Structure 1
Amino acid sequence: MDRNGTQHSPGTTVLVVDDVAASRYAMGAVLSRAGHRVVPVASGGEALVELDVRLRDGTLPDVALVDVGLPDMSGFELCRRVRARPPMAALPVVHFSAAATAPGDRCRGLDAGGDAYLTVPAEPQEIQAVVRAAVRGARRSTGAETAVHRLTLLSEAIVTVQTARCPRELAAAAADGAARLTASPAVVFVMARTASYRGTARCAPRPEDSGAHQAAARLVTRLAEDRTGVTSTVVPAPLWPAGMFRPGVEEDARLTVATAQDGRTAVCLATPVRRAANTDPAADGLLARLAQACALAAEPLLLYRVERHVALTLQRSFLPQPHKLPHLPGVDIVVRYVPASRQTEIGGDFYAALRTGEGVLIAVGDVVGHSLDAATVMVEIRHALRAYCVTESDPVVLAEQLDRMLQQYHPDITATVCLALVDPGSGRVRIANAGHIPPLILREGGGAEYVDACGPLLGLGLERPAPTERRLDPTDRLLMVTDGLIETRGTPLETSMEQLRTAAADAPAGLDTLCDVLLGCFGRDREDDIAMLALRLAPV
């Protein structure tokens, strides 16, 4: 600031383009005394070369003072060429001329993209004021564009985080967003009481270092203890594991930690600390917003993982394991249960194999819905079926009893089930189907056909048709599955059922082999649980 109270911009670099050496010197002297760095050139061509060199070096000037009457091109043409190059387009240009200036000349300068027009000779204070105004306007414009760009990056990152299907995906999305906001490597930790997940972006590839991961995770956990909201702190290199951002490099780390409302979920965005001259408070504020959004998105994801674990435990504890199936005289039975992939919700698929007074009752079913409630109702249906078949063997009667049970205790829930009563002595099979995929009978020699058995879902209270009867030969196999094995979005169920029939017909003999082959063909990365039961008459 000078004695008149005028604010200067020390360190500003000014490109002066003038073919008259004396004029370049005079303009440069005025600007130098005001604290500016001056880069003098004598023509438009020299100016473009100088700008290209400085663009590569990252040292573009802050403003250009351009004489209108240059020998190789007019100052207006030079301005147009500068504006046509995107990396230089934001450079403020001030035209000047010592010749008589008409209003049309000023208009031509502005139309060419100039920011101001000076008539020289001019008072030093006027020259300095015009330069300051041009630089100030350019910085405001650049700052606004930068802010808009960063807010766009932030919104894109938050949208990606909110669509993550698991904590690991969330950590990776957050790391990518943080790296784009800061133009630097980033490491993200999603912390829960029982597990931690890490995501990285722009970090050089290196072998997984579990020791460094655990050390960083412990540090983040300590920082998040008994805190709420968002906090930011700088961890010096001796306390931050070396190589987290770049292999073999010790760096200070800025940790932005956000804790969810439950106090049990924390998200930490870690980025290397830049030199003090390049610190960016605006970027730090955006990182805080991203961390807060990540914590809010992580809370339900982690809660869901807990619920899914409970549901899986419930299903596995109540579904008899293959090696614990009860011995059922006269039949061989093989079962399979495969939960859906980790990114999807738990379902209510089940199977059962029970001894009754008239033979062996087998069942495969699915409670409609995907939640802990569906798994709970599945358990109730299995228990009810076990209780009902103590005194009743007819599959249609059993389906009616299950239907009434759902209407009484779970009126908003429906389920599908296929029940088959097998008489091992005669091979007679009576089938009642409640909205489920019908059983598939595989004959010796490769034939396979679905049993024509259908009926309404459980829970609707609708009348049920009489049972469908078939007879099994000793070499036949009976297969029952849930739709999770074959159902695919965009593909009609009838098409998938035909693909299953063809694959089953071509499968080698044996129950275990049949189930393994079908799981290999259809059971990878499914969006729903899979239950399978295969039966054949045991050799006498």
Structure 2
Amino acid sequence: MADEGRTTVLVVDDAAAGRYAMGAVLRRAGHSVVPVASAGEALAELDERLRSGALPDLALVDVGLPDMSGFELCRRLKAQPPTAALPVVHFSAAAIAPGDRCQGLDAGGEAYLTVPAEPEEIQAVVRAAVRGARMRNGAEALVRRLTLLSETIVDVQAARTLGELAAAAAEGAARLTRSPAAVFVLGEDGELYSGTSRARARTTLPDAGAHDAVGRLIRRLTAADPRTHDTVVPAPLWPAGFFRPGVCEDARLVLARTEGGTPVCVALPLSGTHATPTDTAGLVSRLAQATALAAQPLLMYQVERHVALTLQHSFLPKQVPEFPGLEVVVRYVPASRQTEIGGDFYAAVSTRGGVLTAVGDVVGHSLEAATVMVEIRHALRAFAVEEADPGVLAARLDQMLQHYHPDVTATVCLALVEPRSGRLRVANAGHIPPLVVHEAGNAEYVKASGPLLGLGLDRPEPTETTLWPTDRLLMVTDGLIETRGIDLSVSMEHLRTAAADAPLGTVALCDTLLHCFGRDRDDDIAMLALRLRLG
């Protein structure tokens, strides 16, 4: 709306002289006047103005209109959401009894004028009605924006990654300001995480060079002033097209910091914000601070995830040692950046009774899971110096977990292979059993099962079978195939079918299965494949 002295008044009066007189009084006071002669014309005028987004600030309505009473017109306006907030002042030279005034107020009118009236009275009533409506509308708009802010903060706090957080905050900023918005978080690793409001994201977004430029700009601003602040970046310094494709415009940046000092920035086009800065500055600042608060645990998790990945990469070499008479191939794929790190592992060690291979998974997703994984792997290697039997080793690992980590459980499958004879002994502790893939194009799981490690339950004897020179033995963690909502037995059957159809060779087998199942998984993947080496 315009300022209080420059309002647009819709004057509804069937008498031309009345419209002229009322219009003259209002125009002398600086108001714009839209005169109409009937309720039907008023409704048509308002409908046209609704389409253009330029409703009048007030309707001055004669009670005695020819097509419907001014009271009925007021009721219709108040019953329709687009015009419900339009203030209505009734006036009449004939209907001047107290009951008429009450009827006007009951219909939803803000005031009632008896005409003829002094120009000062008319102007005062118009000012008061407009001022009251603006105060009500302002309060209602503030409540709506506060509700939007609360909803956005809930979405921001529910984000699982910095990318999700930035996108949720950008969408909320766009709803608060009714303009395009972008949010940026500078990660601990120096990477810029960004999100844009959905309407903007549906078009072509700026390239990596523009994002790099924004990252450098935010670093300079936060280095110069570490406090939370609101600043304007002129168009020449802000990449063109960030808010609207092909448009070069000034940017308003609202900056906040996490407790660790990581910058969080809410960016808006200065010229395109429909709400005034005084209306939204505080709310956008609160959104930036809430986003920084929600970013803190995600940033801490990033550090923890980096440590966990470093542990796993350190203790899970891409290649295992050469074993006489045996070819062993391993693969490890960490979960995508959107999920937590787990405790998946593989191992292959030489023992007195043959080559012992293992694939396992510590239950849980955390740095602790990765740490326990390292301990299990070290313990297995230490135990295997004197003991080769997979059943005994499973029992010892079980005892180790109970003693040092009583609240942790793990799954593991141990397979002892004698390269010369192909003899295979398998002890399984709650894990997916090994899959034997035959050259003839079929595959079958070794029938081996047992309780998880860490529960202290009795363990069955290892399963014994023979691995032929044309067979391949595949051991995987459930991260390769487990999908939420799908029974694991169904996924295992899919794996069996895919393995049977895979090309010959251990490398081809692993690569084929990773291609089929291993993309964008929610869990880590550990895989080990082996076969007897001919000759």
| Pairwise TM-score range, normalised by the shorter structure | over 0.9
Alignment equivalent of 2:316, drawn from 289, 305, 319:
319
Alignment equivalent of 1:358, drawn from 347, 353, 360:
353
How far did residue 378 of structure 1 move?
1.1
Q: How far apart, CA to CA, are the structure 2 residues paired with 1:498 and 1:40?
A: 78
Question: Does 1:32 find its partner at 2:30?
Answer: no
Q: What secondary structure is seen at the aligned counterpart in 1 of 2:228?
A: strand
Q: How far apart, CA to CA, are the structure 2 residues paired with 1:249 and 1:132?
A: 40
How far did residue 146 of structure 1 move?
1.1
Q: What secondary structure is seen at the aligned counterpart in 2 of 1:198?
A: strand
Report if aligned partners of 1:347, 1:528 keep a CA contact under 8 Å in 2.
yes
- Taking only the aligned residue pairs, the percentage that are identical comes to 72
Residues 174-212 of structure 1 show CA distances to partners (whole Å, capped at 9, x for unaligned) of 222212211122222211342212223354844634443
Letter of the 1:513 counterpart: A
Alignment equivalent of 2:257, drawn from 255, 259, 284:
259
Change (3 A) 1:277 1:462: closer
Report if aligned partners of 2:360, 2:431 keep a CA contact under 8 Å in 1.
yes
Structure-2 residue corresponding to 1:134 = 129
Instruction: Give unpaired runs (5+ residues) of structure 1.
Output: 1-7
Report if aligned partners of 2:170, 2:181 keep a CA contact under 8 Å in 1.
yes
Instruction: State the Cα RMSD in Å.
Output: 2.4
Q: How far apart, CA to CA, are the structure 2 residues paired with 1:43 and 1:534?
A: 87
Alignment equivalent of 1:281, drawn from 278, 283, 303:
278
Change (3 A) 1:372 1:276: closer
Task: State the TM-score, normalizing by the size of structure 2.
Answer: 0.92
Report if aligned partners of 2:177, 2:275 keep a CA contact under 8 Å in 1.
no
Residues 54-85 of structure 1 show CA distances to partners (whole Å, capped at 9, x for unaligned) of 33443322111111112333222322343344
Q: What secondary structure is seen at the aligned counterpart in 1 of 2:470?
A: coil
Q: What secondary structure is seen at the aligned counterpart in 1 of 2:441?
A: coil
Alignment equivalent of 1:332, drawn from 327, 332, 335:
327
Structure-2 residue corresponding to 1:92 = 87
Q: How far apart, CA to CA, are the structure 2 residues paired with 1:440 and 1:485?
A: 14
Change (3 A) 1:242 1:109: same
Question: Does 1:154 find its partner at 2:149?
Answer: yes
Moved more, 32-41 or 365-374: 32-41
Report if aligned partners of 1:258, 1:266 keep a CA contact under 8 Å in 2.
yes
Q: What secondary structure is seen at the aligned counterpart in 2 of 1:437?
A: coil
Moved more, 225-234 or 420-429: 225-234
Change (3 A) 1:58 1:462: closer
Residues 472-530 of structure 1 show CA distances to partners (whole Å, capped at 9, x for unaligned) of 22222222111111222222222222222232233333222222222222222211111
Alignment equivalent of 1:483, drawn from 478, 484, 489:
478
How far did residue 365 of structure 1 move?
0.9
Letter of the 1:177 counterpart: G
Report if aligned partners of 1:227, 1:259 keep a CA contact under 8 Å in 2.
no
Letter of the 1:320 counterpart: P
Query: How many pairs are equivalent?
Result: 530
Report if aligned partners of 1:228, 1:260 keep a CA contact under 8 Å in 2.
no
Change (3 A) 1:100 1:300: closer
Change (3 A) 1:68 1:451: same
Instruction: Give unpaired runs (5+ residues) of structure 2.
Output: none
Q: How far apart, CA to CA, are the structure 1 residues paired with 2:301 and 2:424?
A: 42
Q: What secondary structure is seen at the aligned counterpart in 2 of 1:334?
A: strand
Task: State the TM-score, normalizing by the size of structure 1.
Answer: 0.91
Question: Does 1:495 find its partner at 2:490?
Answer: yes
Report if aligned partners of 2:425, 2:462 keep a CA contact under 8 Å in 1.
yes
Residues 319-363 of structure 1 show CA distances to partners (whole Å, capped at 9, x for unaligned) of 1213xx211112222222111111111111111111111211111
Structure-2 residue corresponding to 1:217 = 215
Q: How far apart, CA to CA, are the structure 2 residues paired with 1:100 and 1:262?
A: 70
Question: Does 1:117 find its partner at 2:117?
Answer: no
Question: Does 1:399 find its partner at 2:394?
Answer: yes
How far did residue 103 of structure 1 move?
4.0
Structure-1 residue corresponding to 2:504 = 509
Question: Does 1:181 find its partner at 2:179?
Answer: no
Q: How far apart, CA to CA, are the structure 1 residues paired with 2:533 and 2:293?
A: 57
Moved more, 98-107 or 188-197: 98-107
